[in-house]
Amino acid sequence: MLKEERFDYILRKLQTDHKVLHTELSNDLQVSEDTVRRDLEVLAQNGLLIKVRGGAIPHSPNPFAFNERINIHEDDKRAIATKALSFLHNGQTIIMDGGTSTYALVKLFPPSLQLTVVTPSIPIAMQLMEHPGVEVILTGGRIFKSSQVTSGLDTIRMLEKLRADICFMGVCSLHTEVGVTGPDMDEAAVKNVMVQSANKVIALVTSDKMGTAEPYKVCNITAMDTIITDEAGVALAAPYRQLGINVI
């Protein structure tokens, strides 16, 4: 049996059963569970399903589209967010980029905090709607369903007119030479404007994103004032510190 036939079978079964199990598939397809595991691995990589312990579930109809990602490196992200809190003071205007790191940050906002937050992220806006002291401004534009942020010209135009105290940047790759990069052209353009509209830029980055690069450039690495990461070890941080960037 061809590997593609197995893929086909798995996806079809997933569509009818809304889940697949290693044990079942191993039996149905007459291959070992390891092979099934590997099959699910590649299907997951192509975004065709979501691997979970014991099998896989479909991508769309489950309510975890955004919340799944929040689980990855959850502790790291909370640690990063906690460090970031100390930069916030009453009365500031903050640009809050989309992404799970920034989402973790707004979840930690103490109730007494008084801020104006500008964001293209719908989950962040929803989270902050319940906060009594935060004025929320959502940038307009077309919604990217996968990342749940607005993007495009309208978003950029709203950000351009802004003067913020701090911009917290989320999911990006950092590289000392390549700079700050992202996986999507439009979002990279939006991030670029965010950087320009803020007096101070703070990147929230899990350590696995440091030293990596993606196709679309956001800005030079020197545009960052501070990088907050989960593991600010000397080895990882030194190259950035040499450029005058505060790494914590």
Partner DNA sequence: CATATTTTTGCAGGAAATTGCAAGAATATG
Partner DNA sequence: CATATTCTTGCAATTTCCTGCAAAAATATG
4-23 residues in contact with DNA (CB under 7 A) are 6, 22-23
Written as one string, the DSSP assignment of 19-87 is: -EEHHHHHHHHTS-HHHHHHHHHHHHHTTSSEEETTEEE-SSSSTTTTHHHHHTTHHHHHHHHHHHHTT
Whole-number Cα distances in Å, 118 to 151, 166, 244: 13, 10, 27
Q: Least CB distance from residue 207 to a second copy, whole Å?
A: 22
Residues that bind a second copy (CB under 8 A): 2-5, 7-8, 11, 19, 21, 42, 45-48, 52-55, 57, 60-64, 67, 70-71, 74, 107, 122, 125-127, 129-130, 135-143, 145, 148, 150, 154-155, 158
- What is the spatial distance between Cα 224 and Cα 181, in angstroms, rounded to a whole number? 12
Q: Least CB distance from residue 130 to a second copy, whole Å?
A: 7
Binding partner of residue 22 among DNA, a second copy, none, CB under 5 to 8 Å per kind?
DNA
Q: With binding defined as CB under 7 A, does residue 34 bind DNA?
A: yes
In 3D space, the residue among 129, 115, 72, 124 whose CA is nearest the CA of residue 96 turns out to be 124
Q: With binding defined as CB under 7 A, does residue 37 bind DNA?
A: yes
Beta carbon nearer to a second copy, 12 or 241: 12
In 3D space, the residue among 6, 55, 52, 59 whose CA is nearest the CA of residue 28 turns out to be 6
Q: With binding defined as CB under 7 A, does residue 31 bind DNA?
A: yes
* Range in contact with DNA (rule: CB under 7 A) among 7-15, 32-40, 116-124, 168-176: 32-40
- What is the spatial distance between Cα 239 and Cα 14, in angstroms, rounded to a whole number? 47
Beta carbon nearer to DNA, 25 or 171: 25
String of contacts with DNA for each residue 164-203, x by CB under 7 A: ----------------------------------------
Whole-number Cα distances in Å, 56 to 52, 63, 67, 134, 149: 5, 14, 16, 39, 27
In 3D space, the residue among 71, 46, 70 whose CA is nearest the CA of residue 59 turns out to be 46
Residues forming the site for DNA (CB under 7 A): 3, 6, 22-23, 30-35, 37-39, 41, 51-55
